[in-house]
Amino acid sequence: MSAQAVRAFMSIGEVLALLQGEFPDVTISKIRFLEGEGLIEPQRSPSGYRKFTHTDVERLRYILTAQRDHYLPLRVIKDQLDEQATRPRGVPAEAPAIRLSREELIEAAGIDEDTLAEMESFGLVTAVARRYDADALEVARSAGELARFGLHPRHLRAIRAAVEREAGLVEQAVAPLLRRRAPGAIDQAGETAREISGLLQKLHSALLREGVRGVLGR
């Protein structure tokens, strides 16, 4: 085997060094655990040492990002990776949209069935074709965390109502663009909606900070 071929492989320690800057909590034990769960399959040397390729490293990066940013169960991540593996050659490798079953959402959000049912009853979380997307996961997890402070889904109805009013403001602003029916009008409307949404979020954060300072008497 040539020296170039040998350097095409990395040891588990080298892989750890590559990933720890982005994922400080990753350990050799974590990488071995992911292998045991069937999410990665590094090759082995004749003496039994793991040999990782750059593709293995990118797969690990995908897994760790999905866990950190989306709190996805490993079985969901594995399904997404399997879906990518079956994509025809030449098709761009985009991260598949999150589509969780009810049980998967409950596990990923760290809530129970009753809490999810309450969230749905107040319009905080909605399934589409019995599946929940990334926004539903974020809402469910955030609402679940708020419940620890005594703020249950029934207390969050005002936030749902405020969001609907803000969405109405965005709709009012982009409606003239959508009526143009000109080439690129939809893309322009989408960009405008994103910009307005970002500004509304900044305004909301500033006003909330001001309100909290008032509560604390500062």
DSSP 87: S
Whole-Å CA distances, 176 to 182, 192, 198: 11, 11, 20
Q: Return d(Cα 199, Cα 204) in angstroms, integer.
A: 9
| Token duo for residue 173 | 């602003």
| Token duo for residue 204 | 């909301």
Q: Return d(Cα 218, Cα 176) in angstroms, integer.
A: 43
Fold of 3-85: Multidrug-efflux Transporter Regulator; Chain: A; Domain 2 (1.10.1660)
Q: Return d(Cα 105, Cα 110) in angstroms, integer.
A: 8
Q: How long, in residues, is the chain?
A: 218
| Token duo for residue 200 | 């509304």
| Token duo for residue 88 | 């025809």
Q: Return d(Cα 205, Cα 187) in angstroms, integer.
A: 27
Residue 35: count of CB within 10 angstroms of its CB: 16
Instruction: Convert the pLDDT of each residue in 31-68 to its tens digit.
Output: 999 999 999 999 998 888 999 999 899 999 999 998 88
Q: Return d(Cα 74, Cα 66) in angstroms, integer.
A: 9
pLDDT tens digits, the chain, 218 residues: what are they? Answer: 444 444 578 999 999 999 999 999 999 999 999 999 999 999 998 888 999 999 899 999 999 998 888 778 888 888 888 877 765 555 444 555 678 899 989 998 999 999 999 999 999 999 988 899 888 998 999 999 999 999 999 999 999 999 999 999 999 999 998 888 778 888 888 999 999 999 999 999 999 999 999 999 87
Q: Domain map of the chain by residue range?
A: 3-85, 97-151, 155-218
Q: For residue 131, list its beta bridge partners.
A: 128
Q: Return d(Cα 183, Cα 216) in angstroms, integer.
A: 52
